[in-house]
Amino acid sequence: DRLRLDGRVALVTGGGQGIGRGFALALAEAGAHVAILDLNEATANAVAGEVRSRGREALVVVGDVTVAADCRRAVQAVVDRWGRLDVGVNNAGVGSWADAEVYPEAEWDRVLAINLKGVFLCAQAEAQVMIPRKYGKIINTASMSAHIVNRPQNQVAYNASKAGVVHLTRTLAAEWARYGIRVNSISPGYIHTPLVESEAVRHLVPRWLEATPLGRLGEVEDLQGAVVYLASEASDFMTGHDLVIDGG
Ligand code: NAD
C-alpha cells in the first residue's frame, strides 16, 4: 500500500496543536514515528502521548522555527533517535491582523520570520540530512490566503508570507528534485481550530460560510489525507505543487 508510512520518520513543526497536531496524528496512524518541534512544551508532549497511544514512537523538541540552530537541533534529534528523516512538515505559523497603512514594522518582521523564514530554515535543515539519502518529502503549510484576499482583509503580512511559502515551495522543489526530495505545500481554507472560537474572528464565520461553496468550515480531519498522501510514495511524481483544501 503506497499510502502507508510504516517505519518512516516525520518531523512536524507547530505540531503541538491545531492543524499541526492533526498532521502528526495522521502520520502516526499511517505508520510513521513522529517528532514535534514546537515552542509549547506542554502541548507538544500531549501530542507525543497521542502518537505513542497509536503505537508509534514520538519525540519532542522545544524550539523556535525562526532560529536556524533550533531547526537543526530538531533534525539532529530525529537522526540521533531513528537514524533518518523521511518527512518534514513545516507547519508552524501565526495569524496577524492590522490595517496595511498602519501595519507595525515589527509585526511584519515577526510574521515573516515565523511563517516564511521559519519554513525555509527548517526545510534547509531537513534537506541537509535527506540529500545524502537521495529521498525525502517536505510539506509546507501555506494558506488559501496565498491565493486570495480573504476576510478579514487586514492581513498584509500574513498574505504575503503565505504567498511566499507557495513560491518557496516551487523553488525548493526545482532545486532539490535532483536529490529525490519532493517539496509540496498544503493550503487550507477556513479551518475550525481554536482561533475560530476567539473573539477576534468569531463574528466573521457567517461570511466565511457564505464564501465557501461546500457550506461549512473545514475540520482538521479534512487535511489529514493530504498530508499522508504527500508524505507517501503515492505522491512520488508530484513536486512543487500546492494542494488547496478550502471547500471550493
Ligand atoms: P495554531 O496557533 O493552533 O498552532 C500553531 C502551533 O505552532 C502552536 O502549537 C504554536 O506553539 C506553534 N508555533 C508558533 N510559532 C512557533 C515558532 N516560532 N516555533 C515553533 N512553533 C511555533 O495554528 P493552526 O491554526 O493549527 O495553524 C497551523 C498552520 O496552518 C499555520 O501555518 C497557519 O498559518 C496555517 N493555516 C491555518 C488555517 C486555519 O484556519 N486555522 C488556515 C490556513 C492556514
The parent domain of residue 171 ranges over 9-245
- Structural domain includes residue 63: yes
- Structural domain includes residue 202: yes
Which residue is closest in CA terms to ligand 1's atom 40? 191
Decide if pLDDT at 183 tops 90: yes
Here the cell at position 197 is 472560537
Q: What is the pLDDT of residue 115?
A: 98
Strands, E assignment, 64-180: 87-90, 136-141
**Atom number of ligand 1 nearest to Cα 144:** 43
- Structural domain includes residue 151: yes
Report the pLDDT averaged over residues 40-49: 98
- Structural domain includes residue 1: no
- Structural domain includes residue 2: no
Report the pLDDT averaged over residues 183-211: 91
Question: What CATH number has the domain bearing residue 198?
Answer: 3.40.50.720
Expressed in angstroms and rounded, the spacing between residue 93 Cα and the centre of ligand 1 is: 4
Percentage with pLDDT > 70 across the chain? 100
Ligand 1 pocket residues where CB is under 6 Å = 13-14, 16-20, 37-40, 43, 64-66, 91-94, 114, 118, 141, 143, 188, 190-191, 193-195
- Asked if 158 is an active-site residue, the reply is yes
- Structural domain includes residue 3: no
Answer yes or no: are the C-beta atoms of 87 and 5 closer than 8 Å. yes
Q: What is the pLDDT of residue 139?
A: 99
Model confidence over 86-130: pLDDT tens digits? 999 999 999 999 999 999 999 999 999 999 999 999 999 999 999
Q: Where does the pLDDT of residue 198 fall: very low under 50, low under 70, confident under 90, or very high at 90 and above?
A: confident
| Mean predicted lDDT score pLDDT of the chain | 97
The number of folded domains in the chain is 1
What count of other Cβ atoms lies within 10 Å of the Cβ of residue 124?
15
Distance in angstroms (rounded) separating the CA atoms of residues 146 and 150: 10
Report the pLDDT averaged over residues 203-225: 95
What count of other Cβ atoms lies within 10 Å of the Cβ of residue 190?
23
- Structural domain includes residue 126: yes
- Structural domain includes residue 117: yes
Q: What is the pLDDT of residue 71?
A: 99
Distance in angstroms (rounded) separating the CA atoms of residues 55 and 120: 31
Q: What is the pLDDT of residue 194?
A: 82
